[in-house]
Structures are given as structure tokens and as C-alpha cells.
Amino acid sequence: MKIVYIDMDDTLCDYKSAFEQARRLRPDIEYPQSQPSFFLNLSPLPNAIDAMQCFLADERYDPYILTAPSVKNPLCYTEKRLWVEKHLGFAYAERLIISPVKDLLVGDYLIDDYLEGKGQESFQGELIHFAGEHFKEWNAVMRYFGLTKAFK
Ligand SMILES: [Mg+2]
């Protein structure tokens, strides 16, 4: 099985929109992401949940969520865990890795919207640049990995 790591913020969940909205509502707060429930209330990005269920169901892949914490915001550790169970179920709560450095993890693929900053640049496997030129959204990622949506 190929080990696939999937980032959370702006890969599975829409961090950017929530950040901008929080900024508009409370311009006085310097770090809107430090407010309680910020991470818990993020919306999933289109097709992200479907793609994650396809990875889990596919015997070729061993998927894990790999997210770097907002270290100055201790709430985010718990809220990320709660978000995963809420949107992806307990199976993915058991596959949640919160690490400030991503290159310590050994695997075949890392799907991430950032190419550097948290060890992405040193990741030993293939880096899939989510929201980049070749993988603008989840359907493109699913095509690349040969995933097809489960029948509902
Ligand atoms: Mg990200």
C-alpha cells in the first residue's frame, strides 16, 4: 500500500475563507484563528470528503491526515481532532497526525497546498501541490490517484 499524507488547512478545509471572514467581522483581533471554535467550524473544501473516503476504501492506499498545528493556539489541537471525526468519522481520527514538521514522516505522497515551511520541501515522497497548477481542486487529485467516487 502506498502511504498518502493529506494536509488539512486549505487542502481539506477552507481556512482562507474563514480567516478572511473573521477578519471582516472582528478587525480588532490580530489572530482570528486563535478564537475558540475557529478550527472546528471550518467548512470542508468541495469534494474533499468524498476523496478521503475513496482513499480509505481503496486497497492501494493507506491515507493519513498530516497537519501542522498553530502552536500558539493550543485549542487547535483538539479542534482539528473534533473536525476530523465530525466530517470524516472516527476511522480518520485514528489516522490524524499533528506535527509541526512534515518531513519526519515516511511515506509515498504528501498532498499539501504549501510547498515549503513545515518540512514539505524535504519530504522524501512525491509532493502533490494542492490548489497548484496541476491539482486545482480535488477532482484533479482523484483522477491522478485513479480514485472514483463510491456509489451512494
Ligand atoms: Mg495547508
Each residue of 67-78: pLDDT tens digit?
999 998 999 999
How many CB atoms sit inside 10 A of residue 125's CB?
A: 16
- Is residue 151 over pLDDT 70? no
Q: What's the confidence (pLDDT) of residue 129? A: 98
Q: Is the pLDDT of residue 107 over 90?
A: yes
In the block, which residue shows the cell 512534515? 102
Q: Which residue is it, cell 478550527?
A: 39
Look at residue 66 in the predicted model and tell me its pLDDT.
Answer: 98
pLDDT at 46: 97
Q: Is the pLDDT of residue 104 over 60?
A: yes
Distance 97 CA to ligand 1 centre (A): 14
Rounded Cα gap, residues 136 and 120, in angstroms: 18
Cα 149 to ligand 1 centre (Å): 24
> What CATH architecture applies to the domain 2-14+43-144?
3-Layer(aba) Sandwich (3.40)
Average pLDDT, integer, range 112-126: 98
Q: What is the pLDDT of residues 22-67, one digit of tens each?
A: 999 989 998 888 899 999 999 999 999 999 999 999 999 999 999 9
Distance 122 CA to ligand 1 centre (A): 16
Work out the number of other CB atoms within 10 angstroms of the CB of residue 103. 15
> Which positions are annotated as active-site residues?
7, 9
Q: For residue 43, report the distance from its CA to the centre of ligand 1, in Å.
A: 14
pTM: 0.95
Domain boundaries, the chain: 2-14+43-144
Q: Please report which confidence band the pLDDT of residue 87 belongs to, taking 50, 70 and 90 as the band edges.
A: very high
Q: What is the mean pLDDT of residues 92-114?
A: 98
User: Across residues 125-134, what is the average pLDDT?
Assistant: 97
